[in-house]
Amino acid sequence: MHKLDINQVYNGDSNLMIKSIESESVDLVIIDPPYKIRKKTDEINSLAKAVKKYNEELQRDNLINEYDKSILEELVRVMKRINIYIWCNGEQIPSYIDFFVNKYKCKMDILVWNKTNAMPLFNNKYMTDKEYCLYFRKGGYCNPQCYEDAKTVFYLPINSKDKKKWIHPTIKPLSIIRTLIRNSSKEGDLVLDCFLGSGTTAVASILEKRNYIGIELNKKYYDISIQRINEIKECDK
Ligand SMILES: C[S@@+](CC[C@H](N)C(=O)[O-])C[C@H]1O[C@@H](n2cnc3c(N)ncnc32)[C@H](O)[C@@H]1O
């Protein structure tokens, strides 16, 4: 297989394609792999039904199946120094700490996206109103340039406009990804996202003048990412 070119997105399985990325070539990794979620809900009202329908949609598109964690070793191989953001849910946190802190002796931070318009479902549980983004680094670069960029909690609504436009059910806010890129890389650096979805990391890299490589398994989302990248390049001219 050929080496992967920079400023390209690829349609394929990242477990295989990552093997074509050169060792110690990537400055920053931002990934948002599928997370396993509990599908059980005791509520039977219309909101709960909407959540059930949403979860079925995620399941169908392979967005809530556990992924092959052996890719973490490959990510360590391709990074110049460990410098990685990983979106995850609470249950996944221990396994990432085990890998990056216990095994690779990284420093870590926990960032949180607080969804200010989360669904009001709290029967016998807390609301699902946040997502975690773990940051691990070992000599990696974290240098926020202003007070706002240094904050670790992002208060932002689920952006239903972007969600609708780019048809990805778990699209991340572009502004958060831009902040992570600004804080942990420099202009011209290479950013890798091998669970690219609708292309948020690639678009944020272009806007922040970084290079990128994206990999997405699902052809539908891959096509959307290309469309999104082309649109942003057109606006940038
Ligand atoms: C949570 S979504 C990422 C959403 C993205 N952050 C965005 O803003 O659009 C995870 C993506 O990983 C993709 N995926 C799952 N397994 C994969 C694999 N083995 N290789 C590449 N992509 C994969 C899924 O198709 C899905 O689009």
Asked whether residue 3 is domain-assigned, the answer is: no
Q: Give the model confidence (pLDDT) of 90-122 as tens digits.
A: 999 999 999 999 999 999 999 999 999 998 989
Q: How remote is the CA of residue 72 from the centroid of ligand 1, in Å? A: 15
What is the domain count for the chain?
A: 1
Q: Which position has the higher pLDDT, 36 or 112?
A: 112
Ligand 1 neighbour 225 (Cβ under 6 A): no
pLDDT at 39 over 60: no
Q: If you compute the radius of gyration of the chain from its CA atoms, what whole number of angstroms results?
A: 17
How far from each other are the two terminal CA atoms of the chain, in whole angstroms?
A: 33
Whether residue 179 lies inside any domain: the answer is yes
What pLDDT is recorded for position 45?
66
pTM over 0.85: yes
Which pLDDT tens digit goes with each residue over 211-233? 999 999 999 999 999 999 999 98
d(CA 155, ligand 1 centre) in Å = 23
2 lies in some domain:
no
Model confidence band, residue 195 (pLDDT cutoffs 50, 70, 90): very high
- Residue 81: which domain range? 8-236
Task: Work out which ligand 1 atom sits closest to the CA atom of 197.
Answer: 27
Q: Is residue 59 part of a domain?
A: yes
Whether 115 is in a domain gets the answer yes
Q: Is the pLDDT at 58 greater than 70, yes or no?
A: no
Distance 36 CA to ligand 1 centre (A): 13
> CATH number of the domain that 75 lies in?
3.40.50.150
Q: Tell me, using a 6 A CB cutoff, whether residue 13 lines ligand 1.
A: yes
Span 38-56, average pLDDT: 63
Whether 211 is covered by a domain: the verdict is yes
